[in-house]
Amino acid sequence: MNSNVNRNMDHLRQLESESIYILREVAAQFERPALLFSGGKDSITLVRLAQKAFAPGRFPFPLVHIDTGHNFQEALDYRDALAREVGAELIVRKVEDTIRQRGLTEPRGKFASRNWLQTHTLLDTISEFGFDACIGGARRDEEKARAKERIFSVRNDFGEWDPKLQRPELWDVYNGRIHKGENVRVFPISNWTELDVWSYIRAEEIPLPSIYFAHEREVLVHEGQLIAVSPFIEIEPGDLVVRRSVRYRTVGDMTCTAAVESRAVTLDQVVDEIMATRISERGETRIDDRVTEAAMEDRKKGGYF
């Protein structure tokens, strides 16, 4: 090889290499790690990264889905197919069961979201299987509390995040040592932005659930947001229900994820739309963050993802 060979990595390959490094640290440092899988584009990206990190070995994490019961069918079908394809164990635990077993109060209201209740199911699942690390697809560009969270985020027995007691995280040395009962939430794509994720999906040609592309759908127009009409939300007299060409920028619960108007049917078109947008992913699509200025901070302190 001559010395003029280009040994610079572009930003996507740098991010990929960093994430693979983190995933390998998880596999090496923990006894029983799991990958939290929602069917959303971020967790789909994580699965691809983990496949690359451990090829040609077996996929070392079970996929864990905390199922609110308010899912898009397309995301569920995708989840099942992906788990089969990568040969990963799929663990599904339902929020509905937790509500029944633990006598929790089912949320009420127009967009009764079980999003908060997922924390209960998640913590039960962690103790049922003895998971010591849970890998999640959260990114720091999403939200201001996430901007401060470590890549290895130690949680106590209640899954609680204490932002004032975070371990210093120096260089790329990740300290995953914990006490029994504690667990670590690991965020390998912390440093990726929404556009990075989309650009990577395009570069890698990763298939996505169809709802990420423009399709016709009945939506309720609520405070400027478009919410899919489903059995999980209440339609009242006077509500504006229309048929629009929409796609999802993020896929979560049907009750708390809004769609965006779109004509983008290919990944190139989606990436173009994302680059042109003037509204953030959470701002445009998440109904649950709007409650208070510190909504995410509070949920994380309470054991959320």
Q: Which is nearer to other proteins, 83 or 189 (CB)?
A: 189
DSSP H/E element including 247: strand 240-247
Q: Which is nearer to other proteins, 72 or 200 (CB)?
A: 200
CB of 281 to other proteins, least distance (A): 9
Residue 135 and residue 36 in contact, taking contact as beta carbons nearer than 8 Å: yes
Between the CA of residue 272 and those of 46, 198, 214, 269, 276, what are the distances in Å?
Answer: 23, 10, 13, 5, 6
Secondary structure (DSSP) of 153-165: EEE-TT----GGG
DSSP H/E element including 26: helix 11-29
Q: Which is nearer to other proteins, 147 or 221 (CB)?
A: 147
Q: Which is nearer to other proteins, 263 or 290 (CB)?
A: 290
Q: Which is nearer to other proteins, 9 or 242 (CB)?
A: 9
Burial class (CB in 10 A: 0-12, 13-18, 19+), 40: buried
Q: 3-class DSSP state for residue 222? A: strand
> CB neighbours (10 Å) of residue 21?
13
CB of 288 to other proteins, least distance (A): 15
Secondary structure (DSSP) of 75-111: HHHHHHHHHHHHT--EEEEEHHHHHHHHTPPPP-STT
CB of 38 to other proteins, least distance (A): 22
Q: Which is nearer to other proteins, 54 or 76 (CB)?
A: 54
Q: Which is nearer to other proteins, 99 or 227 (CB)?
A: 227
Euclidean distance between CA atoms 23 and 25, whole angstroms: 5
Interface contacts to other proteins, rule CB under 8 A: 1, 7-11, 13-17, 20-21, 24-25, 27-28, 51-58, 140-141, 144-145, 147-148, 163-164, 166-173, 175, 177-179, 190-191, 193, 195-196, 277-280, 283-284, 293-294, 297
CB of 189 to other proteins, least distance (A): 12
CB of 13 to other proteins, least distance (A): 8
Q: What phi, psi does 220 have (nearest 5°)?
A: -95, 130
Euclidean distance between CA atoms 107 and 304, whole angstroms: 17
CB of 206 to other proteins, least distance (A): 13
CB of 175 to other proteins, least distance (A): 5
Q: Which is nearer to other proteins, 74 or 169 (CB)?
A: 169
CB of 55 to other proteins, least distance (A): 3
- Max Cα–Cα distance, the chain, nearest Å: 73
